[in-house]
Amino acid sequence: MVAKIALAVAAILAIAPAVATIVWPDNREQAPSRAVELHGPILGFTQSSDRIQVRLVPARTDVEKAARSRVVIRAENGAEVEIPLQHGQTWASADLPPKLAGASELAISVE
């Protein structure tokens, strides 16, 4: 009798994680799938549905640092957001307005 109870408990413990994985909802926020053009010294970017962070290649000279004043994010629908840069800044982030967050194509440039 004790062996049967032990086997039943072991079976429940073995199956519980699999059942929880199947039943538990996936709450991770998925980034939208879209085409993105990068212009300028950009290492890469991360994006959620309404927020973007752009990582820049570190400037090697003061001339390069002075030439970078902003990051501009544009959509094919005409929406645009500018993120001002400080001298030598290596990343920029911003909340995206709905027209940019829902756009199927973005262009990110350093100006």
pLDDT for position 55: 95
The CATH number of residue 79's host domain is 2.60.40
Q: What's the sign of the alpha-carbon dihedral 38, 41, 46, 51?
A: negative
Q: Is residue 44 part of a domain?
A: yes
pLDDT for position 19: 66
List the one residue out of 50, 64, 58, 60 whose CA is nearest residue 73: 50
pLDDT for position 9: 73
Containing structural domain, residue 53: 35-110
Cβ–Cβ < 8 Å for 86, 70: no
Cβ atoms within 10 Å, residue 72: 15
Q: Is residue 18 part of a domain?
A: no
Q: Is residue 1 part of a domain?
A: no
Cβ–Cβ < 8 Å for 43, 110: no
Q: Is residue 27 part of a domain?
A: no
Going residue by residue through the chain (111 aa), what tens digit of pLDDT does each one get?
777 787 777 777 777 676 667 767 665 555 557 789 999 999 999 987 789 999 999 989 989 888 899 999 999 988 999 999 998 899 999 999 988 888 889 999 999
pTM for this structure?
A: 0.69
